[in-house]
């Protein structure tokens, strides 16, 4: 297998990078379900442990199937290194543990994944790392949030569930000016639609659980970046703290990456059609989707992303009661928290993902009672529309 993939496009990398064929001549990537690896001699064991000789020792450190996934994802993001983790949250934790210390400060968008907020606010503070949350689209607020001890800017773009964007290039210039690292959670776009490193990001985080798997089977994550920050610092945390990815899950994600490009385009196509249809519905007050001209950052989305992505949110007239009626009238759409699946999922953020927030906090973040989020899957768009139409007819 060629290591020289610099010339390859994204789809070729997604399919060809990372498989180092064994003497068996297998065509599809093998799984190595082994906790440890044997040495041919005591001297070889000593050399591997001392780091004088490369090679596998133990699957908490390295595993060939996990490495194949890491190499493939790194190649797709256009980065030197990738470390796979047991979940997306483990990826964020390992990044913070590897790159921050007590006394450091984070400036984060307040529109990030709810559990990331909990990790920053409740747990990192115990270890002396504090966070200032700022409105995602307010450039001045980002800059005002920066202090002398700020080491990291953290963002997701587009955000969940309101699809707010941030100009990654602008934020990376700010990070550079203040000597901080810019970390982008690229979960919603994936490298198929958005390339944060080309725009100056320092690290990319993934919840592989979502679109990278694409079929809702496994929980996993990844940190992507350069050989020093990720290959040494974050990898060191994995090796010592242990939230490693299992070989089986790595294999599922590895195979998921092969179809990521066409899936993301198909998710976007379905989502765009659905969003346009929703805009015409009398029962719908407002639609959030970066592919719509009514989206305040439509132009930035067109510039920064190859396609608008698969997440559409909308506000139903009539508050919680109407929103729940739409959800409960659906016979096909799955009421579930996951996203990025071939199966479309529908959620009510105000009472689930954002249920912990106070009513005032929800109001400030725009998570109103009538808001519904759909992670648009790959079913026929007519069937998705028909499933929602039933709910609108029932209101
Ligand atoms: C789901 C998600 C995470 C957390 O990932 P897990 O795999 O569930 O731990 C982090 N960021 C975003 C944007 C997510 O959607």
Its pTM surpasses 0.85:
yes
Interval between CA 248 and ligand 1 midpoint (Å): 19
Q: What distance in Å separates the CA atoms of residue 302 and residue 321, rounded to the nearest whole number?
A: 35
Interval between CA 256 and ligand 1 midpoint (Å): 17
pLDDT at 17: 97
pLDDT at 3: 55
Q: Is the CB of 87 under 6 A from ligand 1?
A: yes
Which residues are bridge partners to 184 per DSSP? 155, 204
Residue 377: phi, psi to the nearest 5? -90, -160
In the block, tokens 């596998």 appear at: 56
Q: Is the CB of 95 under 6 A from ligand 1?
A: no
pLDDT at 234: 98
Percent helix, strand, coil in the chain, to 5, is: 45, 15, 40
Mean of all residue pLDDT scores within the chain:
96
Task: Take residue 369 and report the two structure tokens written for it.
Answer: 């009672």
CATH number of 261-394: 3.90.1150.10
Q: Which atom of ligand 1 is nearest to the CA of 156?
A: 13
Q: What distance in Å separates the CA atoms of residue 269 and residue 369, rounded to the nearest whole number?
A: 27
- Is the domain spanning 3-258 CATH 1.20.120.1730? The answer is no
Which residue's CA is minimally distant from atom 5 of ligand 1? 88
Alpha carbon of residue 292 to chain centroid: 22
Which ranges of the chain would DSSP assign to H, the alpha helix?
10-16, 42-50, 64-77, 88-99, 114-118, 139-145, 168-177, 190-193, 235-241, 247-258, 260-279, 298-304, 319-329, 359-365, 381-394
Which residue's CA is minimally distant from atom 12 of ligand 1? 113
Which residues are bridge partners to 144 per DSSP? none
Question: Mind listing the pLDDT tens digit for each residue in 332-343?
Answer: 999 998 999 999
Omega cis (within 30) before 161: yes
Instruction: Please say whether the beta carbons of 348 and 302 come within 8 A.
Output: no
pLDDT at 2: 46
Q: Is the CB of 89 under 6 A from ligand 1?
A: yes
Q: Which atom of ligand 1 is nearest to the CA of 209?
A: 7
Q: Which atom of ligand 1 is nearest to the CA of 338?
A: 1
What 214-217 contacts at long range (C-beta under 8 Å, 24+ apart), as own/partner pairs, is 214/256, 214/259, 214/260, 214/263, 214/340, 214/341, 214/342, 215/256, 215/341, 215/342, 216/338, 216/340, 216/341, 216/342, 216/343, 217/252
Domains of the chain, by residue range, sit at 3-258, 261-394
Which residue's CA is minimally distant from atom 7 of ligand 1? 88
Please state, as a whole number, how many other Cβ atoms lie within 10 Å of the Cβ of residue 132: 17
Instruction: Please say whether the beta carbons of 133 and 178 come within 8 A.
Output: no
Instruction: Please say whether the beta carbons of 223 and 199 come within 8 A.
Output: no
Residues of the chain scoring pLDDT < 70: 1-3
Q: Is the CB of 210 under 6 A from ligand 1?
A: yes
pLDDT at 363: 81
Contacts of 67 (CB under 8 A, 6+ apart): 18
Q: What distance in Å separates the CA atoms of residue 268 and residue 270, rounded to the nearest whole number?
A: 5
Instruction: Please say whether the beta carbons of 347 and 309 come within 8 A.
Output: no
Which residue's CA is minimally distant from atom 2 of ligand 1? 207
Interval between CA 57 and ligand 1 midpoint (Å): 30
In the block, tokens 């050399």 appear at: 47
Q: Which atom of ligand 1 is nearest to the CA of 91?
A: 9
Which residue's CA is minimally distant from atom 6 of ligand 1? 88
pLDDT at 359: 85
Task: Take residue 229 and report the two structure tokens written for it.
Answer: 């920050």
Task: Take residue 17 and report the two structure tokens written for it.
Answer: 């990078």
Q: Is the CB of 156 under 6 A from ligand 1?
A: yes
Interval between CA 264 and ligand 1 midpoint (Å): 17
């Amino acid at each position: 297998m060629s290591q020289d993939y610099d010339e390859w496009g994204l789809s070729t990398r997604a399919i060809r990078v990372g498989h180092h064929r064994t003497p068996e001549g297998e065509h599809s990537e093998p799984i190595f379900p082994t906790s440890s690896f044997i040495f041919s001699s005591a001297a070889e064991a000593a050399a591997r442990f001392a780091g004088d000789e490369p090679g596998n020792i133990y699957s908490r450190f390295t595993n060939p199937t996990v490495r194949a996934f890491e190499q493939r994802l790194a190649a797709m993001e256009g980065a030197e290194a990738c470390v796979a983790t047991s979940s997306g949250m483990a990826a964020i934790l390992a990044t913070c543990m590897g790159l921050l210390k007590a006394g450091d400060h984070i400036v984060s968008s307040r529109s990030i994944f709810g559990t990331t907020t909990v990790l920053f606010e409740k747990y990192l503070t115990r270890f002396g790392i504090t966070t200032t949350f700022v409105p995602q689209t307010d450039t001045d607020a980002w800059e005002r949030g920066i202090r002398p001890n700020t080491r990291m800017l953290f963002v997701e773009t587009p955000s969940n569930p309101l699809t707010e964007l941030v100009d990654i290039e602008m934020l990376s210039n700010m990070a550079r000016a203040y000597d901080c690292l810019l970390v982008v959670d690229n979960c919603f776009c994936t490298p198929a639609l958005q390339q944060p490193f080309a725009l100056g990001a320092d690290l990319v985080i993934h919840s592989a659980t979502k679109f990278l798997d694409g079929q809702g089977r496994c929980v996993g994550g990844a940190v992507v970046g350069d050989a020093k920050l990720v290959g040494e610092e974050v990898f060191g945390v994995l090796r010592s703290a242990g939230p490693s990815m299992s070989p089986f899950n790595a294999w599922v994600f590895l195979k998921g990456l092969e179809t990521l490009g066409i899936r993301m385009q198909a998710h976007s196509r379905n989502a765009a059609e659905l969003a346009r249809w929703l805009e015409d519905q009398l029962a719908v007050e407002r639609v959030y989707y970066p592919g719509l001209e009514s989206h305040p950052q439509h132009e930035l989305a067109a510039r920064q992303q190859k396609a608008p992505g698969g997440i559409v949110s909308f506000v139903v007239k009539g508050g919680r009661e109407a929103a729940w009626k739409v959800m409960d009238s659906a016979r096909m759409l799955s009421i579930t928290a996951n996203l990025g699946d071939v199966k479309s999922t529908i959620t009510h953020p105000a009472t689930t993902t954002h249920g912990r927030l106070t009513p005032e906090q929800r109001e400030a973040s725009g998570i109103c009672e009538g808001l519904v989020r759909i992670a648009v899957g790959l079913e026929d768009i007519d069937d998705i529309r028909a499933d929602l139409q039933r709910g609108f007819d029932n209101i």
